[in-house]
Structures are given as C-alpha cells and as structure tokens.
Amino acid sequence: MDEKLLEISNLRTYFFTEAGVVKALDGMSLEVYKGQAVGLVGESGSGKSVTAQSVLRIVPRPGRIVDGSVKFEGEELLTKKEDEMRKLRGRKMAIVFQDPTTSLNPLYTVEKQLTDILMLHKDLSKDDASKQALHLLDRVGIQDPERRLKTYPHELSGGMKQRIAIARALACDPVLLFADEPTTNLDVTIQAQVLELLKQLQRELNMTMVMITHDMGIIADMTERVTVLYAGKVMEVADTQTLFKSPKHPYTEALLKAVPSVKQTRALEVIPGNIPNLIEPPTGCVFHPRCKYAKDVCVKKEPELERVEEGHYAACHFWRELELEGRGG
C-alpha cells in the first residue's frame, strides 16, 4: 500500500466577517498519497484555495480553522506551534500561487528571493545558495540564468515570473507542492509551457502535487485523482478517468456539460442560478437550489459522502438511482 502523505478530515475553516460567519470550508476531507497528482476543482468560493491555506496554516484574517484535523506524514499540523510550521513551510510543503506579480517580492532581485529560502532552510552559505539558485533557474527552463538572477520581478514576463515562483517553491525539494491556479493568469501557449514543466518536474522529482483549478481541461490533463468542491464541501471524489466517464454527483455532471471544448461543439447545458452565499448556505444539500434532480429530501437533509466503489465517493442522496452522463464517448 502506498504511503499516505496528507490526510485532511472534517476540516472547517470559517471567516468571521462583519456581515456574518463565512463557512469557507465546512467539513472538508482529502487524502493524498505519496507521488500522486491530485486535483481540487471548484468555482470561486468553493474553498479550494482555503484548503491549501489551511494545510499550510496561512489562512488570512478574519479566517480561522475552527475544527478538524490535518495530518502530514502522520503528524497533526493543526496543533503545531508557529515556529514548527515555519520549518515545514517552504521546506517540506510549498505553494505556487495564481498571480506571480503579487507572490514575488518586487523589491528583491530574483537571486535574493531564491537564496533567502535556501540559506534559511538548507543552511547554505551565500555563494553556495547562489550556485543552487542558478541551478534552479536552469531546471525551470529559464534561459540565460546568470543574467536573470540579477533582475527584479517587474523586468520579467508573466510566464517567466511564474517559473521563478515555481523555482522558489522547489528550492528545498518539498515533498508536497500545492499549485493554486498556477496558469490562470497566463496566455494559452505559456500555460502549456508551465503545465508541461510542472508535469516534468513532478515526474523527475517524484513530487506529490495538489493542483487547484477551476479548469476541467487542466484536471483531465494533469491529475490522477480529483476532489470536486462546492460551497466548502466535497461533492465527489474519484479517479480522474472515472470522474469524467461516470460521475455520480449531479454537480460534477453539470460542470462537465457546461464547459465548451476546443475539440467539438455541442449545446452547452446551463447550470441555473448563482454560487450560493456562504454566510447563509442553502439547507440540506448545498447544491439543491441549482440541481435539476433535487427532491424534497435534498432541501431537508444534508447528504453524506457515500462510497460508490473503491476510491469513488459521492455526496448525493440519489447517486444510486441517477443515471448521470459523463464526458467523452
């Protein structure tokens, strides 16, 4: 049996705003095995970014983890002291954010951003750290790395900045990498370059990766397993192939049918309504106001995440009865 690297169970992260309590994550669970590429897919407000923030314990205020457990390499993270967490962040767990313009420090050269982390976590001398930084730039495919080390972020293009952010995340050979919408701000051809780079690095370094995205195309391309999130709750978990072929949750089905493809045209099925307000989420199943199969019980009772088959779980009262359509074929 593979080694379980990360285990999130029943995690609740709430934001205590003036308008009320936003339940950004409300009973989230996730298992990630070593070497896997796992996808977290959802729309804005689904809680996919907050999941990464919660694991790294960098939830911005007024957010707070109120309940649950996060185990990394068998150790509980939520009870760790801040200085223990600091030793993990950037070293064993790293993250690449969506927008490299804000995630890189504009006042530091590329060299400083990379050597700082190497000197801190790996205890390297300045010269050794510089050599290592050069090697990192080379590894993420940056041409003319000597010159690039001396530049500031604003002198670089979006794609190049994201490569630097990836280099920084990889600096200390992390065991677990969160990629939080790493290509959303990039052009299509640059996105292809960055995705290809992440794939290659994951293969070569046998790194475990959690890919956070709203793009079903990226999920299909990059991941082995997927967790579908909606309004802070897990709707479905499955192998990527299975999820696309035979989804068991109406939200997954709806999502698959609502995205156009470059390969063919077909009538898009619309998901009616809007993303729910998380201060007062819908009663029962959170998806019921937009679900075309919803019945009375969905309004009253929240469905549990039930086992469909080995490795496939769905949170729907009717997963047995419904014959949902997948994509492809």
Partner 1 sequence: MPHVISGVNLSLREEVAETQESMHSSDRILEVDSLVKYFDVFERGILRKKTIGEVHAVDHVTFHIFAGETLGLVGESGCGKTTAGKVILLLEEPTSGSIRFEGTDVVDTFQHGHQDDAKRLRRSMQMVFQNPYNSLDPRMTVYDIISEAFVIHRHIPKSQWTDRVYELLRMVNLEEYHAERYPHEFSGGQRQRIAIARALAVDPKFVILDEPVSSLDVSIRAQILNLLIDLQKKQHLSYLYISHDLSSVRQISQRVAVMYLGEIVELASANELFDRPLHPYTQALISAVPVPDPEHKTTRIILPGEVPSPINPPKGCRFHPRCPHATDICKDVAPTFEDRLVQEHFVACHHADKFV
In the complex, the smallest distance separating the C-beta of residue 83 from partner 1, rounded to whole angstroms, is 39
In the set 188, 204, 310, 321, which binds partner 1 (CB under 8 A)? Answer: 188
CB-based burial label for 152 (10 Å; 0-12, 13-18, 19+)? middle
CA distance 178 to 102: 17
In the set 67, 75, 187, 309, which binds partner 1 (CB under 8 A)? Answer: 187
Concatenate the DSSP letters of all residues of 57-114 into one string: T-PPTTEEEEEEEEEETTEESTTS-HHHHHHHBTTTEEEE-S-HHHHS-TTS-HHHHH
Q: Which is nearer to partner 1, 56 or 219 (by Cβ)?
A: 219
Q: Which residue has the tokens 């009262």?
A: 317
Q: Could you tell me if 225 and 310 are in contact, meaning their C-beta atoms sit under 8 angstroms apart?
A: no
299 contributes a contact to partner 1 by CB under 8 A: no
Cα dihedral 78/80/82/83 (nearest 10): -150
In the set 162, 191, 208, 227, which binds partner 1 (CB under 8 A)? Answer: 191
- Between helix 126-139 and helix 158-170 the angle, nearest 10°, is 120
280 contributes a contact to partner 1 by CB under 8 A: no
- Between helix 110-122 and helix 158-170 the angle, nearest 10°, is 10
In the complex, the smallest distance separating the C-beta of residue 223 from partner 1, rounded to whole angstroms, is 9
Two tokens, residue 65: 């983890």
260 contributes a contact to partner 1 by CB under 8 A: yes
In the complex, the smallest distance separating the C-beta of residue 250 from partner 1, rounded to whole angstroms, is 12
Q: Which is nearer to partner 1, 196 or 309 (by Cβ)?
A: 196
Residues with Cβ < 8 Å from 326, sequence gap 6 or more? 243, 244, 245, 246, 247, 253, 256
261 contributes a contact to partner 1 by CB under 8 A: yes
Two tokens, residue 127: 């010269």
38 contributes a contact to partner 1 by CB under 8 A: no
Q: Which is nearer to partner 1, 125 or 277 (by Cβ)?
A: 277
In the set 90, 145, 159, 247, which binds partner 1 (CB under 8 A)? Answer: 159
In the set 106, 123, 154, 265, which binds partner 1 (CB under 8 A)? Answer: 265
| Binding residues for partner 1 restricted to 192-231, rule: CB under 8 A | 192-193, 195-196, 214-222
Q: Which is nearer to partner 1, 207 or 226 (by Cβ)?
A: 226
268 contributes a contact to partner 1 by CB under 8 A: yes
Interface contacts to partner 1, rule CB under 8 A = 43-44, 157, 159-160, 187-193, 195-196, 214-222, 240-241, 244, 254-256, 258-263, 265, 268-272, 274-275, 290, 327-328
